[in-house]
Structure 1
Amino acid sequence: MSHTAHIPSHRKPRRSASKLALRAGVAGGVLGTIAVAGAAGPANAEPVTETIEMPTLGSLDVGTNLASAVAASAEASQQEALDQSLQSLEQAALKKAAQDAKKAKAEADRKAEAERAEKARLKAEKERQEAAEAATRASRSEERTRLSTTSSSSTGSSDSSDGGGSSSSDDGSSASDSGSRTQAPSGSAASIVDFARAQVGDSYVTGGTGPNSWDCSGLVQAAYRAAGIDLPRISYQQSSMGSSVSLDNLQPGDILYWGSRSGSYHVAVYVGGGNYVGAQNSSTGVVERSLDWDPPSGAVRIL
């Protein structure tokens, strides 16, 4: 039995690899010293036969395993940090995408609201324009009624003063007026009529002077310019030109007006055959119409 058998068995704490290497080096040095001493002793000395047990260096594997564990832990920590970084980036991307989607929805809602407002504005503008046109027609009708009443009163007074002789004169003028409505224009009148009719179908634009859009006075001015005659630009100025003529004695090229002669709000060109050409409004554009469609208040002759 070993002399250390009475010592209870216990596990000694592990030493580091560096300490184990140091102990191995010391042991190697001791063994070298013993070998030298044996060689220097007497020649007849008996050889040393005692076996010295060397400590094992298997514990060095523990240090290697520990280093591997530390490296693995560092790698795991680095991977975890990378995962957290990627997660942060994903969260930031999701947050930005949500913000962009919110902005896009707000912009879409704004555009939709703007479109609804524009449609409402256009509808209101159309209704306003239709109301204005209706008011204009009503004003024209009222003016025609007033002028008709005034004309009837003047005719009645003339008939009373002239007696029966005026009847034959009226019949003659009526026949002459009927013929004037069907006669073909010639000369400057033909140029004016041809130009006016060539614009039928063009659009109406306030302030328009051609070549494809007109207002009433712009069309009349351009038609007369085609015949080499310069007219003022405004309708009431045009109706103040020339000499006043009866609606029953019209000739092609005469200027028709609506309203009073010095305060007309609309003009057109008489083209013969009981018709006129005018830039009416934005709904109809430039049209040729019968005098009965919208009878004018009066007419003037420039030619």
Structure 2
Amino acid sequence: MSHTAHIPSHRKPRRSASKLALRAGVAGGVLGTIAVAGAAGPASAEPVTETIEMPTLGSLDTAGLASAVAASAEASQQEALDQSLESQENAALQKAAKEAKKAKAEADRKAEAERAEKARAEAEAKAKAEQERKDAEERASRDRARTQLSTTSTSDNSSSGSNVSDSGSGSSSSSGSSDSGSTTSGSNNETQAPSGSAAAIVAFARAQVGDAYVRGGTGPNSWDCSGLVQAAYAAAGIDLPRISYDQSSMGTSVSLSNLQPGDILYWGSRSGSYHVAIYVGGGKYVGAQNSSTGVVEHSLDWDTPSGAVRIL
């Protein structure tokens, strides 16, 4: 018996035979098969074959890959389109906001202009109504003055007719009374014609009767009150200030019962008059009254002045 003991090996038995079979169907897109064959036991054992099926490259669907690529490209294109649309929408929103802001500013400007125009129209209407009211008051005052003057004239004519009858009957005392009355009744019944500078002033003033009244007017066809007085005195070679209160401050004061042709009549105070005219004799004056009447000749009773000054 051998002294050498047989020690069995713990290594796995070597496979003495193995076979690998690979069948690929790349072109046909079929599954390939890898066959691995090996011996499970010692070299003398029968070969054992194990078959494992694995996907091959051919198993990928070419049409599906193309579809996936196309879908990715379409998604990228859609994203780019969405971004472009979003940019356009933002630009449109900004443009709309600017246009809305501009439209609002224009609307505000028009509204302000309309308010200003309405206020101006209301102010003009108010001023017109006030002027019409004043004109109506002046017309009413003139009508009352005319009525009073007409009544006075009728009474004077009746008295004059009675005196003439008495004179015609040979009453020397009545005649004397009539003559005395014509010379002592005061300036309202004055019949003596003016002469010299006074005549030139009166003639110029009466020649403008009927001309228009314009504030600040100095002729030749439109006047205001002080412009007419200044021009009338200029016709006689006398220089006067342009403003009414300066004109009424010149010369010497005279009473309304002692007027002479050419005297300057004023309304208001002497140093603060607001209207002037020229006494032309016979209890009348010529003045540029207002825009409704223009230059007129009126009785002192029509609008009694506050006072008078004498320059001549």
TM-score of the aligned structures, taking structure 1 as reference length: 0.51
Deviation at 1:228, TM superposition (A): 1.5
For the Cα contact (< 8 Å) 2:210–2:295, is it kept in 1? Answer: yes
Given the alignment, which residue of 231, 239, 254 partners 1:222? Answer: 231
Structure 1 segment 232-251 matched on structure 2, within 5 A = 232-239=241-248, 240-241=250-251, 244=254, 250-251=260-261
Query: Are 2:296 and 1:288 aligned?
Result: yes
Secondary structure of the 1:210 match is coil
For the Cα contact (< 8 Å) 2:266–2:276, is it kept in 1? Answer: yes
CA RMSD of superposed structures (Å): 5.0
- Give the residue type in structure 1 aligned to 2:101: Q
Given the alignment, which residue of 94, 97, 102 partners 1:95? Answer: 97
- Give the residue type in structure 2 aligned to 1:179: T
Question: What's the counterpart of residue 191 of structure 2?
Answer: 179
Question: What's the counterpart of residue 269 of structure 1?
Answer: 278
- Distance in 2 (CA, whole Å) between partners of 1:124 and 1:246 is 37
- Distance in 2 (CA, whole Å) between partners of 1:236 and 1:260 is 8
Question: What's the counterpart of residue 43 of structure 2?
Answer: none
Deviation at 1:263, TM superposition (A): 6.0
Distance 1:60 1:259, change over 3 A: closer
Number of residue pairs matched by the alignment: 224
- CA distances 1:242-293 after superposition (whole Å, capped 9, x unpaired): 5737568643x33223356666442112456765332324x43742132253
Structure 1 segment 130-279 matched on structure 2, within 5 A = 169-173=180-184, 177-180=189-192, 183=193, 189-190=199-200, 193-194=203-204, 197-198=207-208, 201-205=211-215, 208=216, 210-211=218-219, 214-239=223-248, 240-241=250-251, 244=254, 250-251=260-261, 253-259=262-268, 264-271=273-280, 276-279=285-288
- Distance in 1 (CA, whole Å) between partners of 2:273 and 2:178 is 32
For the Cα contact (< 8 Å) 2:265–2:305, is it kept in 1? Answer: yes
- Distance in 2 (CA, whole Å) between partners of 1:193 and 1:72 is 107
Question: What's the counterpart of residue 54 of structure 2?
Answer: none
- Distance in 2 (CA, whole Å) between partners of 1:214 and 1:78 is 83
Question: What's the counterpart of residue 123 of structure 2?
Answer: 121
Deviation at 1:193, TM superposition (A): 3.6
Question: What's the counterpart of residue 83 of structure 1?
Answer: 85
Distance 1:232 1:94, change over 3 A: closer
- Distance in 1 (CA, whole Å) between partners of 2:209 and 2:106 is 49
- CA distances 1:133-156 after superposition (whole Å, capped 9, x unpaired): 869x99xx9xxxxxxxxxxxxxxx
Q: Percent identity?
A: 39
- Give the residue type in structure 2 aligned to 1:267: V
- Distance in 2 (CA, whole Å) between partners of 1:289 and 1:74 is 100
Secondary structure of the 2:231 match is helix
For the Cα contact (< 8 Å) 2:267–2:274, is it kept in 1? Answer: yes
- Distance in 1 (CA, whole Å) between partners of 2:90 and 2:196 is 90
Distance 1:216 1:68, change over 3 A: same
For the Cα contact (< 8 Å) 2:213–2:294, is it kept in 1? Answer: yes
Distance 1:187 1:221, change over 3 A: closer
Distance 1:247 1:11, change over 3 A: farther
Deviation at 1:84, TM superposition (A): 1.8
State which drifts further: 125-134 or 82-91: 125-134
TM-score of the aligned structures, taking structure 2 as reference length: 0.50
- Give the residue type in structure 1 aligned to 2:218: G
Distance 1:11 1:127, change over 3 A: farther
Secondary structure of the 1:256 match is strand
